[in-house]
Amino acid sequence: MQLRPDGVAETLPRDDVVELGFPRMQTSAARFLPSALENAAGLRFTARPAPLPVRADVGAASGRLVGVANAFYQNANPETAATLLEVSLRHPNQLVRVAAAASYVEIVADPVRSTLILEHGVRSGDRMVRAVAAHALAHVDPRNRVLASLLSSNKRPSLRRPSRTSAIVHGTWARASSWWQPDSGEFWKYLHDNVDPDLYGAADRFEWSGGYSDVARALAGNDFREWVGHKAFDGLDLFTHSHGGSVAMLASQGGTRVGKLVMLSCPVHWPKYAPNFTQVSKVVSVRVRMDLVILADRGGQRFQDNHIDEHVLPIWFDHFATHDPHTWDRYRVRSML
């Protein structure tokens, strides 16, 4: 394995930026007025801030989007970037609007429109839209009431007996999701049938709040340590997704012994979340390129510690691809463990 500088996170990996053709740009602390950005785009939108753009504004934005994007690529600076975001808030595709709002909320003097778009995105039926919106909204407004619905539990029944080999730790907002839950969740079933037949599947499997905060993860790490202690597990293999990896790393810092720690699409916040390598036999990270949810989380895209086996799949943007059974089969993820 190539030795890399320990602990330096790549928020935007250089090879991803180059392949996308994204221009270099100096950052700025400037805040822009929406009216000034509309003038820069050569547009005057008709509607007041709302969760959804009106048809006239969608049409106007669509007509100017290519020109505004070209202006940014030809002269990348904070103003042309902000102008592109302003226009993208009226894009017909909700994921584009939410992704634009995730950045826009921090660079304008009046964030009302972007906040409304993110709140509406949290209620979306599309998993990617919902995750990007929730992470971005929680980053700027962690007490926003619309986030509460993502913290509910939806425990699936299981009649399986306790086992002692491995377990799944879900990530942020995923407590009620079915994919990780025994014994019918698609990823749980895939791991059980193809990777480890002793994957924990009893009704008292571990879950945590899925809250988007350091405190929620710290509490989860402590709860997991107590769960492992109560079960008298020693060296449990862990399959974690997103900030479930952060929870597992905190548990290892608290003294929980882990066999193989597999982190799928885990945001990098180093050294705040780092494994205690003396407590972990092996650490494997599997991720996609330019993960949109990790961008909204403001986390790094890749670990840079040479104690972690980092594997980047040839998939762009999709935070959830790493727990998709089809991804595991197509890219032989099992061979990376």
Q: How does DSSP assign 148-169, residue by residue?
A: GGGG---PPP--PPP-SSEEEE
Residue 30 CA to its chain's centroid (Å): 27
The answer to whether residues 6 and 305 touch, using CB atoms and an 8 Å cutoff, is yes
Please report the pLDDT score of residue 29 as a whole number.
Answer: 78
The residues that bridge with 300 in the sheet, in sequence order, are 268
The answer to whether residues 160 and 182 touch, using CB atoms and an 8 Å cutoff, is yes
In percent, the amount of the chain with pLDDT more than 70 equals 93
Is the previous residue joined to 183 through a cis bond, with omega within 30 degrees of 0? yes
**Structural domains of the chain, with CATH:** 31-149 (no CATH), 152-336 (3.40.50.1820)
Burial class (CB in 10 A: 0-12, 13-18, 19+), 243: buried
Please report the pLDDT score of residue 157 as a whole number.
Answer: 57
Beta strands in the chain, from DSSP E residues, in sequence order: 166-169, 236-241, 258-264, 280-289, 308-316
- Classify 76 as helix, strand or coil: coil
- Classify 287 as helix, strand or coil: strand
| The token pair that represents 166 in the structure block | 């491995």
Residue 292 CA to its chain's centroid (Å): 7
pLDDT (tens digit per residue) in 189-230: 999 999 999 999 998 999 999 999 999 999 999 999 999 999
Residue 332: left (phi > 0), alpha (psi -120 to 50), or beta? left
The residues that bridge with 239 in the sheet, in sequence order, are 168, 262
Question: Minimum mean pLDDT among 30-34, 218-222, 300-304: which range?
Answer: 30-34
**pTM for the full predicted model:** 0.88
User: How many contiguous H segments (helices) and E segments (strands) does the chain have?
Assistant: 12, 5
| The token pair that represents 248 in the structure block | 């597992």
pLDDT (tens digit per residue) in 86-139: 999 999 999 999 999 999 998 999 889 999 999 999 999 999 999 999 999 999
